[in-house]
Amino acid sequence: MKQNSFSAVLVAVLMGALAARAQDPVKVDPKHYSVVFENDAVRVLRIHYAPGEKSVMHSHPDAVIVFLEDQKAKMIHPDGKSEEVSGKKGDAVFSPAGAHLPENIGSGPIEVILVELKKPATK
């Protein structure tokens, strides 16, 4: 009986983790994410966080990030590990697909244009 209970808990945890990864930020956090353009190839999001604000766990496909302000954020990953990331106004960087929970740990706003690629980037 213990093995069946453990298996059921493990399946529930894994299903929860998969659901968290599949969360669309526009649906789960419309305060911070809005769609400004979409077609068959890309979806362009405008992202805004005031200092100290954070989101919920969500995911993005491969994307290009364009920083509209200097910023500093903490990204918490589904496994519980976190990292600090920063961006400089005017920079653009590639971001591989993945899930995270962002938090603005800087003194100014996070202002980003995120271009989500609907087809995985070619390597």
How much is the pLDDT for 21?
Answer: 45
Report the number of distinct structural domains present in the chain.
1
Supply the pTM of this predicted model. 0.80
| Alpha helices, H only, 22-121 | 25-28
The residue segments making up the domain with residue 73 are 2-117
pLDDT reported for residue 120: 74
Q: Which domain CATH number covers 105?
A: 2.60.120.10
User: Could you say which residues of the chain have pLDDT below 70?
Assistant: 1-22, 121, 123
123 lies in some domain: no
Residue 68 counted as domain residue: yes
Tell me if residue 91 falls in helix, strand or coil.
coil
Question: Do residues 75 and 112 touch, judged by C-beta distance below 8 A?
Answer: no
Give the pLDDT score at 7. Answer: 45
**Structure-block tokens of residue 45:** 């999001």
Provide the pLDDT for residue 3.
Answer: 54
